[in-house]
Amino acid sequence: MKPLTSRQYKIVPGRYYGTPKELWAIRSKPVRGKASMAAREFLRVNAQLLGLAGVIGRLRLQRVIESLGAQHLIFQQRYRDLRIHRAYVTVHIGRGRQIYLAKNRAVPRALLGDEPAFRVRAGAAQRHALRSLRISARDCRVLGVERMWFPQKEKLRPAFRVRIHRERPREEWIVHVDGRNGEILSKYDNLALAVGQAQVFDPNPVIALGDWRELLKNGRVRKPPAAAYSAVALGDLDGGGRLDGKRVTTRFTKGRVKKPDGRFIFTSAQPGFEEAMVYFHVDRAIRYLESLGYRGRRAIFSAPLGADVRGTTEDNSWYSPGLSRLTFGTGGVDDAEDGETILHEFGHALQDAICPDFGQSPEAAAMGEGFGDYFAASFFADKKTEAYRARISSWDMIALSDQDPPCLRRLDEPVTYESFDHSDGADEHDNGQIWSATLWDIWRRLGRDVADRIIIESHFQLDGFTSFAKGARAIIDADRNLFRGRHAAALREIFRARGIGPVE
């Protein structure tokens, strides 16, 4: 393997180290042999270009992900037997065995000096983290404390990564504490939230009946009639009489129902209905992923996804990355009564399963909300009339929306990247409508089969701090790997129209 020439790649410069952050649109010959060996050889021969001279030996192969169209190799940089926060290098090998992308966040050798040793202990770091959040240890769960190194521009600091989860208010913080003096280096609430969902059935009574006015009289929500229900099968239960299965479990739900005969047949007013809803919709969504090819060694979910279907009395739902758990609220119409709300939250779980802790930057958070809306809309599109197809959560918002028909959000808004709100406190759901509209453009142009495949596949080369432009490039790369770039021209046209780029 020979080093790349300047004509064989495009470059994204790094912000702090003077080294490339990404090499993309790489044009190289197909590699041979085991992917891990080929990736290491690529990094070795291009060490000078990437700024990896002197640190190749500190890169540990952390994970090899096989998606449908490519292999994605993640190398974690370590120093003195501890990992360095966000210091990873990834190499992406397409179906044709060509390396098409390399991402680099490694800390250069010159900055790996004799840093001061840890002077703060783990227990003290935990207390510093809680104090910074003004949280009592009685009111939360500390999910982990990890010793590591934290790059801060041109300095490498000893640090602790403390993950904290609490229910009231719902938060899940990742706090980095300086290992020398206990100062807070960073903190971020990593809980994926969706506000105001409350829905039912397949996906909900509004869609089943076709007329939302039948369900709202004099401003009051009516009990859905029998015609709103669908009879379904619940597959792969473990036989214990509760809703525990191969792909989903409701074991985190208090007072959950038990039916030794396996007949979980309830109306929406009865206990157990929300459990059956969540089990059915999440199980079916994971089965859909398996039908696309994400099964066996390529399976995205390696364990049953947990759910608390009545986890809060508020009108709110969320996915917790730290707990790997879906939680649904019972305020207003119960959130777990609506398939679209369930699959929006499942979208967060799907992203986190592919790319852990997805959504740690404003654009990534917006992409998370936009993808959740897209996944729910795409999944149920064939059950809807045109009037509802680009809208989600019509049952949730039946008494609150001023739109006709009612909805929580639309996926066909005339928005572009220019309207992205970068101010502090900006709503990721509002910003997410730019991304969901873009994904919906792809859906309408290419159809569900192609759109879902390339959009899901694109996540395997993203990270928790990604951007719209990188997401667009990842979709184009996914199309190249899955469909030999057959849809590249259409995709570029869509991204340009939405002001997202640059893309190649």
In the chain, what is the straight-line distance between the N-terminal and C-terminal CA atoms, in Å? 25
DSSP 313: S
Assigned token pair, 354? 């592919």
Q: In whole angstroms, what is the distance from residue 496 CA to residue 502 CA?
A: 8
The residue ranking higher by pLDDT, 8 or 504, is 8
The residue ranking higher by pLDDT, 15 or 73, is 73
Q: In whole angstroms, what is the distance from residue 184 CA to residue 176 CA?
A: 6
- Which pLDDT score is estimated for 504? 65
- Which pLDDT score is estimated for 260? 84
By the 8 A CB rule, do 337 and 215 touch?
Answer: no
Q: In whole angstroms, what is the distance from residue 149 CA to residue 107 CA?
A: 11
**The residue type at 433:** Q
- Which pLDDT score is estimated for 309? 97
124 φ, ψ to 5°? -70, -40
Is residue 31 over pLDDT 80?
A: yes
pLDDT, tens digit (0-9, with 9 covering 90-100), for 1-28: 999 999 999 999 998 889 999 999 999 8
Residues 6+ apart with CB under 8 A from 360: 174, 188, 190, 464, 465
Return the number of other C-beta atoms located less than 10 Å from residue 258's C-beta. Answer: 10
**H helices present in 160-252, as ranges:** 205-209
By the 8 A CB rule, do 243 and 276 touch?
Answer: yes
Assigned token pair, 300? 């995205």
Is residue 199 over pLDDT 50?
A: no
DSSP 22: E
By the 8 A CB rule, do 177 and 184 touch?
Answer: yes
By the 8 A CB rule, do 82 and 147 touch?
Answer: yes
Assigned token pair, 190? 């990593």
CA-wise closest residue to 196 among 45, 361, 406: 406
The residue ranking higher by pLDDT, 502 or 4, is 4
Assigned token pair, 272? 């157990």
By the 8 A CB rule, do 76 and 83 touch?
Answer: yes
pLDDT, tens digit (0-9, with 9 covering 90-100), for 92-126: 999 999 999 999 999 999 888 776 689 999 999 99
What domains does the chain contain, in order, with CATH numbers?
Answer: 6-111 (3.30.310), 122-189 (3.10.450.40), 194-497 (1.10.390.10)
Is residue 33 over pLDDT 80?
A: yes
**The residue type at 189:** D
**Helix 468-483 and helix 428-446, axial crossing angle in degrees, nearest 10:** 20
pLDDT band at residue 196, thresholds of 50, 70 and 90? low
Assigned token pair, 315? 């009108």
By the 8 A CB rule, do 364 and 468 touch?
Answer: no
In which residue are the tokens 């640190």 written?
A: 55
- Which pLDDT score is estimated for 194? 63
Percentage of the chain beyond pLDDT 70 is 98
By the 8 A CB rule, do 300 and 164 touch?
Answer: no
Q: Which of 3-12, 145-154, 433-442 has the lowest mean pLDDT?
A: 145-154
Is residue 197 over pLDDT 60?
A: no
Mean pLDDT of 73-82: 95
Q: 410 - beta bridge partners?
A: 391
pLDDT, tens digit (0-9, with 9 covering 90-100), for 290-336: 999 999 989 999 999 999 999 999 889 999 999 999 999 998 888 99
User: ∠442-479-44 over CA atoms, to 5°?
Assistant: 140
pLDDT, tens digit (0-9, with 9 covering 90-100), for 211-260: 888 898 877 889 999 999 999 888 888 888 899 999 999 999 999 999 88
pLDDT, tens digit (0-9, with 9 covering 90-100), for 357-415: 999 999 999 999 999 999 999 999 999 999 999 999 888 888 878 888 888 899 999 99
Is residue 161 over pLDDT 90?
A: yes
- Which pLDDT score is estimated for 7? 94
Is residue 195 over pLDDT 60?
A: no
* CA quadruple 373, 378, 381, 382: dihedral, nearest 10: -160
Is residue 485 over pLDDT 80?
A: yes
- Which pLDDT score is estimated for 198? 30
- Which pLDDT score is estimated for 220? 86
- Which pLDDT score is estimated for 503? 74
Q: How far is CA 293 from CA 288, 297, 300, 408, in A?
A: 9, 10, 10, 32
Mean pLDDT of 428-453: 98
Q: In whole angstroms, what is the distance from residue 499 CA to residue 417 CA?
A: 5
- Strand runs labelled E in 80-119: 82-94, 99-104
- Which pLDDT score is estimated for 68? 94
Name the pairing type of β-strands 305-312 and 325-329.
parallel
- Which pLDDT score is estimated for 396? 84
CA-wise closest residue to 247 among 298, 299, 286, 291: 286
User: ∠132-135-138 over CA atoms, to 5°?
Assistant: 145
